[in-house]
Structure 1
Amino acid sequence: MTTFRVPLGLVLLLVVVAAVPVPITAIENVTGSPDVSVQSPDNEFVPGQEASLPVYVSNEGSLQSSGPAEYVARVTTARALTLQVRSGDTPIEVNTARYPVGNVPEGTTGPIPVSITVPEDTPPGTYRLPVRVRYSYAPKVEYGSGTDGPEYRYVDLARTLSLSVVVEDRPQFQVVNVSSTARVGSYGPLSMTVRNTGTEAARDATLQLSSPDDEVTFGTGAAKSEAYSGVWGPGENRTFQFRARFAPDAQQREYPLRASVSYTDPDGIQRTSPPLTAGVTPREEVTFAVENLTSTLYVGEPGTISGSVRNTGPAPVDNAVLVYRSSNPNVVPVDTESALGRLEPGERSDFTFEVDVAADATATDRQLNLSVRYRDAQNNRQVSDELEPTVPVLPERDWLAVTPQNATFGIDTDNRLTVRVRNRENMTLSDVRARLETEPPFSSEARTAYVQRLDPGDTETLAFAVTVSEDAVPTRSSVSVNVTAERPDGKEIVLDSYVVPVTVVEETSASDTTLLAAGVLVVVLVLGAGWWWLNRR
């Protein structure tokens, strides 16, 4: 048998190596998980309400073994969390789909708005809405010198949580009916009936009504109006009356109305209902037309405007009055109103306005500012839109042609001035009165003349006494004749002041004329006597 010998040095080397301890690898870990819950502190609603439910997500975290903070955060954070609130078996409707929340570390995230609708017939009570949450997390993180770095893996988790929603016992309100007899361009009553559909009475209730459209106003033109109701029990209808007005340029369409009810609940808390909406349509406007319009308006004299007003529909009116408001101080009606009475649709009524036209008025077309004031079927006073026909104002009329017949006078003489007066207009004048106006060197003891009637085209001669003073000088001068007359309608008119030219000449002396005449007579007598004497032989 062959024997092998191991060298002693090798044996000792192996013993030493075996005696040296081999180092052991160290591996540590952090373990835990998120602890997710959901809450909604503002969760009280009423039937018939559509609102936003604020949802908060809380994560308390659950830790089994701890370690560095970054690894603790890794295992306790819910990553890519999504949340979906569902209706479940409740009558509450959830309108928001799955919501991406994102990473949720330890703490609280939110609020997350979730739209819900509480139907009007939802009984009061507490309802639990299921909430489905999904997220991922790392349940364990391994680290240490025995690893290449922190090692972890993610797992997905889905959980169903719940939220409480409280539907309270409160008054609730619903518009039942809206009606109005007001027409476009006028005002009238507006009636709104509202029902308390809730389960509690409203105390000290006040209904506030407004319209977002400025073509609808209330009362004396306010944008809103209020009506008091007092105690308003559940299931009760209350009808509120308002005074509404629709603007003249409003259309015959449905206009929106907004209402809300302020009240005190059984706990003494002042509350306001959610907005109530409704619509109202004005009735068709009652309109009028001016027809058969005639006028006799001349600068500087009274005249008339006549015509008829027709009710163009669609409803009858009572106690109608045509109102004329002048916008020009030179053209002013004597009376500003003309009664029309009751007017059925299509019916007419005549009117006449007497108008004074000033002497400094301008001859041109004038726009009339007319409107019809009346009472409607509910006896409400209404005023129509402006009616704006035009009438002409004609230039001042040249009534008379005044021409002198004898108007040449000597100095220091008493004379008879005669003028011919002709009616130039197509209207008979009566009680024509003329007055002579003089200034030195002229004077008059008989300065008035009268003509009872002067038909169109007729001519009359008027005579006045005129004295020329002794200190007058030969010249061409004038006197004035002022004339008034009466028209066929009985109105007195003041005609123009007519200027009559007058000539003053040097008067021959009366003594010289007498001597000359006497001398001529003597010559004639002498010659006659001589002729007789000679022929007698």
Structure 2
Amino acid sequence: MASIRAQAIILIILTSLLVVPALAGIKYLDGSPDLTAYIAGTNEYTAGSDIQIAVVIENNGMSLDKQVASNIIDRDDPPTTAKFVTVTMTAGDAPLVIESDPQMIGDLASQTRKTVTIHAKVNQDAPADTYALPLNISYTRFDSVDQFDTDSFRYYYVQDNITVTVPLVIKPEVIPEVISVTSGHLVAGADGYLNLTIKNTGSLDGSKATVKITRNDNSPVTPVDSSVFVGDFPAGSTRSCQYKVTVADTAQNKSYPVDVAVVYQNKEGDVVTSRTETVGVNVGNKVDFVILSPPAQMSPGSKKTIQVEYKNIGNSTIKSAQARISAVDPFTSTSDVAYLGDLAPGQSAVASFQISVASDATIKEYGLDSEIRYRDALDTTYISDPMKVSIDVKDLTGFAGIISHPVYLSILIAVIIGIIYTALHFIKKKR
């Protein structure tokens, strides 16, 4: 009985060996790599943008016929495997620049895929359209094998190249281009108006558009009114916008940046913000003045009308300027305000002030504070930084000292009157 059972087990084992050969090898009778490519995610981009194109390389190669036998040794590489795959993208007719070098992605077996990222820059003026980007894929594949004996083989590989295309879409959009910038009398430390003319150089007709300006980093030019609604903004059309801005008093006589963008509604009804264009705004020096006149000469106890010449050394015209002097001890003034009128850049005007000096004033040079009140081009009133009006108080000698001193002048007048009276009396008596 045991013998019969053992014989049955041996028979089953032998039968199974006939159905599935032990350690059988596979020989592929056909097949080769079949590579395709497509862009993962969105393939829509805007003009002027830096983009990263995620391209998926897929191997769909299949072997339909194969041979399985115990005397076959497995090949190192199936004929469907693409080895040492290198991917190179070119721009073709698309308005962009490919910035990535050829990229190696290694081996790609059948029914597998790998993703490669291509960096590119879309031209600023790229027309909206769908473009085909050529993608060259070079690889090595198994070709044939020579068997010299049971355990000695020589494999042969060949180099292949294919070119496929992937579609890339440049979306229509509103592209703002500032074609003129005027800032009038925009100067440091003051408010002013900025006038822009903007053209839509894109291919999309924007609707419900608003042109916005924003401060650029640490620029001293800051918008007070930052948005102007322009409504429909068709491709190729222009719009004029005016903005009120303020300029920091630290600004110098040069051009400063301001950022411009358009917020609009596209055809799908989505609210979109355009790319930002940076433009330069000319700013003049802060309105400032200098005193050109030399120090006024006075003596203790004297009274005098002094002349002070002021010059506008800023970059803009001021209107209705008034000069004021602050008289402090030992000075007094009966007229401390003088009208100068309008002053263009580089123009000067003279103000007259009546000043008295106390009789006990110390002999030295004094500086009296003076300032100018004026209006700018926007009719906004400003007051200048204080300036010093120099008055040199000293004792005057000779005739000048006599006539400048009230007591001495009174005595002199009395003496002159006495002389005249004596002379008249003498003449009358002689007659």
Same fold (TM over 0.5): yes
Residue 229 of structure 1 is matched in structure 2 by 230
The 5-angstrom pairing of residues 466-485 of structure 1 reads: none
Q: Secondary structure at the match of 2:104?
A: strand
Query: Contact 2:319–2:374 (CA<8 Å) still a contact in 1?
Result: no
Residue 216 of structure 1 is matched in structure 2 by 220
Offset of residue 192 of structure 1: 0.7
Equivalents in 2 of 1:156, 1:349: separation in Å? 92
Offset of residue 66 of structure 1: 9.9
Equivalents in 2 of 1:39, 1:261: separation in Å? 33
Residue 119 of structure 2 is matched in structure 1 by 113
In the superposition, relative to structure 1, how do residues 33 and 292 fare at CA in structure 2: closer, same or farther (>3 Å)?
same
TM-score (norm 1): 0.55
In the superposition, relative to structure 1, how do residues 139 and 304 fare at CA in structure 2: closer, same or farther (>3 Å)?
farther
How many matched pairs? 372
Equivalents in 1 of 2:299, 2:34: separation in Å? 100
Residue 92 of structure 1 is matched in structure 2 by 95
Offset of residue 365 of structure 1: 5.8
Residue 202 of structure 1 is matched in structure 2 by 206
1:428 aligns with 2:406: yes
Q: Secondary structure at the match of 2:283?
A: coil
More deviation in 256-265 or 381-390? 381-390
Residue 133 of structure 1 is matched in structure 2 by 137
1:165 aligns with 2:143: no
In the superposition, relative to structure 1, how do residues 373 and 85 fare at CA in structure 2: closer, same or farther (>3 Å)?
same
In structure 2, the gaps of 5 or more residues are: 1-22, 396-401, 415-431
Query: Contact 2:33–2:79 (CA<8 Å) still a contact in 1?
Result: no
In the superposition, relative to structure 1, how do residues 390 and 137 fare at CA in structure 2: closer, same or farther (>3 Å)?
farther
> Which residue identity lines up with residue 84 of structure 1 in the other structure?
M
Query: Contact 2:194–2:243 (CA<8 Å) still a contact in 1?
Result: yes
- Per-residue CA deviations over 1:341-389 (Å, capped at 9, x if unaligned) read 12355341314387999x9x9x98658463452333xx54364863533
Offset of residue 179 of structure 1: 1.3
Residue 180 of structure 2 is matched in structure 1 by 177
- Per-residue CA deviations over 1:97-133 (Å, capped at 9, x if unaligned) read 642233153322232223332635x2x4322222222
Structure ranking higher on relative contact order (CA contacts 8 Å, 6+ apart) = 2
Q: Secondary structure at the match of 1:238?
A: strand
> Which residue identity lines up with residue 147 of structure 1 in the other structure?
D
Residue 9 of structure 1 is matched in structure 2 by none
Equivalents in 1 of 2:356, 2:107: separation in Å? 88
Residue 518 of structure 1 is matched in structure 2 by none
Bigger radius of gyration, 1 or 2?
1
Equivalents in 1 of 2:119, 2:240: separation in Å? 37
Residue 467 of structure 1 is matched in structure 2 by none
Offset of residue 426 of structure 1: 6.4
> Which residue identity lines up with residue 197 of structure 2 in the other structure?
T
Identity %: 17
Residue 342 of structure 2 is matched in structure 1 by 342
In structure 1, the gaps of 5 or more residues are: 1-24, 398-423, 431-452, 459-537
Residue 79 of structure 1 is matched in structure 2 by 84
Equivalents in 2 of 1:284, 1:260: separation in Å? 28
Offset of residue 340 of structure 1: 1.7
Query: Contact 2:252–2:284 (CA<8 Å) still a contact in 1?
Result: no
Query: Contact 1:195–1:238 (CA<8 Å) still a contact in 2?
Result: yes
Offset of residue 92 of structure 1: 2.1
Query: Contact 1:182–1:245 (CA<8 Å) still a contact in 2?
Result: no
RMSD (Å), alpha carbons:
5.0
More deviation in 288-297 or 77-86? 288-297
Offset of residue 248 of structure 1: 4.5
Offset of residue 160 of structure 1: 1.0
1:59 aligns with 2:64: no
Equivalents in 1 of 2:309, 2:160: separation in Å? 89
Residue 256 of structure 2 is matched in structure 1 by 255
1:193 aligns with 2:171: no
